[in-house]
Amino acid sequence: MTRVTLDEADIRILGVLQHDASLSIASVASEVHMSQNACWRRVKRLEESGVIAKRVTLLNPEALGLDLTVFVSMRASEHSEEWLESLKAVIRDIPEVVEFYRMTGDVDYLLKLRVANMAAYDAAYRKIIRKIRLSDVSSAFSMEEIKCTTALPLEVL
């Protein structure tokens, strides 16, 4: 994907939308001091260019009983394209995994899971190791979430 050039108005619109995507175009336009038509055209352009990937509703994990955040570091038993595709397929089918990264350094993959408790984590862990061969798995359990945001740092653009 090629980098999109944004002007100050685009950045203001994105700032408003990434904090509340449920706002109407009229509300967004009012907040960024722009006409509704101009604002709508910019939002459409930002969507078509891929800057706005999608609009979602963020849920409160604790309200749903998903109180435990687990970070899982994994080391691969092999490094073939076929094995990687198998791993991706396995992880995609485990809904408790909310983030999944291929890393550099000592750890090959990092997962973030949201689960209700230790038993739920163990069940997800067993799904992973049952379907994919790994050389090492290490888990760390979050004691406190200090900052968690989906908002990107638009101030630096």
| Structure token digits, residue 117 | 């408790």
CB atoms within 10 A of CB 138: 10
Residues 89 and 38 both lie in one domain:
no
Residues 74 and 134 both lie in one domain:
yes
pLDDT score recorded for residue 2: 84
Residues 22 and 70 both lie in one domain:
no
Residues 73 and 132 both lie in one domain:
yes
Is residue 101 in some structural domain? yes
Q: Which pLDDT tens digit goes with each residue over 69-85?
A: 999 999 998 999 999 99
CB 15 within 8 A of CB 154: yes
Read off the pTM: 0.89
Which residues constitute the domain of residue 93?
Answer: 62-141
pLDDT score recorded for residue 66: 98
Task: State the CATH number of the domain containing residue 115.
Answer: 3.30.70.920
Q: Which pLDDT tens digit goes with each residue over 89-133?
A: 999 999 999 999 999 999 999 999 999 999 999 999 999 999 999
Is residue 155 in some structural domain? no
CB 68 within 8 A of CB 115: yes
Residue 137 CA: distances (Å) to CA of 4, 34, 92, 98: 39, 52, 18, 17
Is residue 150 in some structural domain? no
Any idea how long the chain is? Answer: 157
